[in-house]
């Protein structure tokens, strides 16, 4: 039986496909390649198409014996979601509805869902725990929370079991150095900093250095993409064992400041990284980190690449050997 990975040609999806293949799983990928890259797939059977194409989904489920789904396909830019909410409800919420409908018809009853810590919004306290209030402060986070709630009802009514994984910033690249992060536009700090080191950008903007943190810059949570991939595979194992639906944070508990990331990148690359301090951005909390105690104890997840230098070194290995990413326009 195979595992269907939606969005499997994306950044986290492709690393998860690599992890599944390593463990001898049969993999089917559905990806529209709207932000993903065919070249990022190290194997598996690819269907190029949209999640919202119900006929394609029916064909995919008919042609493959799918045991479980790992669902990454989504639009995930916070800023864009605040300008174009229709796109986010359509791709994320309606897309998930189509997927769940396809699963129901094909009698597939397990789904692991790539959610986000943006479901919490402004945190009540840090590190954030799963029992904390969820009050998203942007459309992206709201659509992900809606997708989680939809899954909860599909479980209650139809018995489709789900695991939702909530995390902040995926970072780093595969140990082989052959796949890594290539978002266009890029909005994540570590690739932006490394592109600055490569002189593809003039400088890196730091939004505010007067926050109530040790060095004045915001603290954020970074998780190595291969540790995330491992967590998604563990979540499949959890559902296979007959455990019920659940949701988990995947976080590093401590976080790293923006300055710390830049300084570590200078050390790893040995290159100059010019910084420009700018005004704080509206709605940027000082510290955003999640506790992953629950994932550690229930899923046995033990992120083995949590060290910032190691995360940046693996990202640098990819960016310095693939300065144009996967290369296409």
* Residues forming the site for ligand NAD (CB under 6 A): 7, 9-13, 30-36, 50-52, 72-74, 76, 91, 95, 114, 116, 167-170, 183
> Which residue matches tokens 């390593």?
22
CB of 218 to ligand NAD, least distance (A): 15
- Told to judge if 211 belongs to the known catalytic residues of this protein, a careful annotator would answer no
Going 293 to 75 to 256 to 123, the CA torsion angle's sign is negative
State the nearest-atom distance from the C-beta of 34 to ligand NAD, in Å: 4
Give whichever of 39 and 209 is closer to ligand NAD, judged by the CB atom: 39
Return the number of the residue (12 or 204) whose C-beta is nearest ligand NAD: 12
3-state helix/strand/coil string of the chain: CEEEEECCCCHHHHHHHHHHHHCCCEEEEEECCCCCCHHHCCCCEEEECCCCCHHHHHHHHHHCCEEEEEECCCCCCHHHHCCCHHHHHHHHHHHHHHHHHHHHHHCCCEEEEECCHHHCCCCCCCCECCCCCCCCCCHHHHHHHHHHHHHHHHHHHHCCEEEEEEECEEECCCCCCCCCCCCCCCCCHHHHHHHHHCCCCCCEEEECCCCCCCCCCCEECEEEHHHHHHHHHHHHHHHHCCCCCEEEEECCCCCEEHHHHHHHHHHHHCCCCCEEEECCCCCCCCEECECCHHHHHHHCCCCCCCCHHHHHHHHHHHHHHCCCCCCCC
**Nearest distance from residue 9's CB to ligand NAD, in Å?**
4
- Select which of 120, 140, 167, 238 is catalytic: 140
Tell me the closest approach of the beta carbon of residue 293 to ligand NAD, in angstroms: 19
Question: In this complex, which beta carbon is closest to ligand NAD, that of residue 51 or of residue 239?
Answer: 51
Supply the minimum distance, in Å, between the C-beta of residue 83 and ligand NAD.
Answer: 17
Distance in angstroms (rounded) separating the CA atoms of residues 155 and 163? 11
Is the Cβ of residue 12 or residue 206 nearer to ligand NAD in the bound state?
A: 12
- In whole angstroms, the minimum distance from the beta carbon of 95 to ligand NAD comes to 5
Nearest CB to ligand NAD, comparing residues 82 and 271: 82
4 vs 268, which CB is nearer to ligand NAD? 4
Q: Just list the catalytic residues.
A: 140
């Amino acid at each position: 039986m195979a595992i269907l990975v939606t969005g499997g040609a994306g950044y986290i999806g492709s690393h998860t496909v690599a992890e599944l293949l390593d463990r001898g799983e049969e993999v089917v990928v559905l990806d529209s390649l709207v932000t993903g890259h065919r070249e990022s797939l190290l194997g598996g059977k690819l269907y190029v198409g949209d999640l919202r194409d119900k006929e394609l989904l029916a064909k995919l489920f008919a042609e493959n014996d799918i045991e479980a789904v790992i669902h990454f396909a989504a639009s995930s830019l916070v800023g864009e979601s605040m300008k174009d909410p229709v796109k986010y409800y359509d791709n994320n919420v309606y897309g998930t509805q189509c997927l769940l409908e396809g699963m129901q018809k094909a009698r597939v009853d397990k789904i692991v869902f790539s959610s986000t810590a943006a479901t919490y919004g402004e945190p009540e306290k840090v590190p954030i725990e799963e029992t904390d209030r969820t009050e998203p402060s942007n459309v992206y986070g709201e659509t992900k929370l809606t997708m989680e709630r939809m899954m909860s009802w599909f479980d209650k009514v139809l018995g489709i079991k789900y695991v939702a994984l909530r995390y902040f910033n995926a970072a780093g690249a595969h140990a082989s150095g052959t796949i890594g992060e290539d978002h266009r536009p890029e909005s994540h700090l570590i690739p932006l900093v490394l592109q600055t080191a490569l002189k593809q950008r003039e400088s890196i903007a730091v939004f505010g250095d007067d926050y109530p943190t040790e060095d004045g810059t915001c603290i954020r949570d970074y998780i190595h993409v291969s540790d995330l991939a491992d967590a998604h595979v563990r979540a499949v194992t959890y559902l296979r064992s007959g455990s019920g639906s659940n949701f988990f944070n995947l976080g590093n508990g401590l976080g790293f400041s923006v300055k710390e990331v830049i300084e570590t990148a200078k050390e790893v690359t040995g290159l100059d990284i010019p910084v420009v301090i700018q005004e704080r951005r509206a709605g940027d909390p000082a510290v955003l980190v999640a506790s992953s105690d629950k994932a550690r104890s229930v899923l046995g997840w033990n992120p083995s690449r949590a060290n910032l230098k190691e995360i940046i070194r693996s990202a640098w290995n990819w960016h310095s050997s693939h300065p144009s990413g996967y290369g296409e326009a």
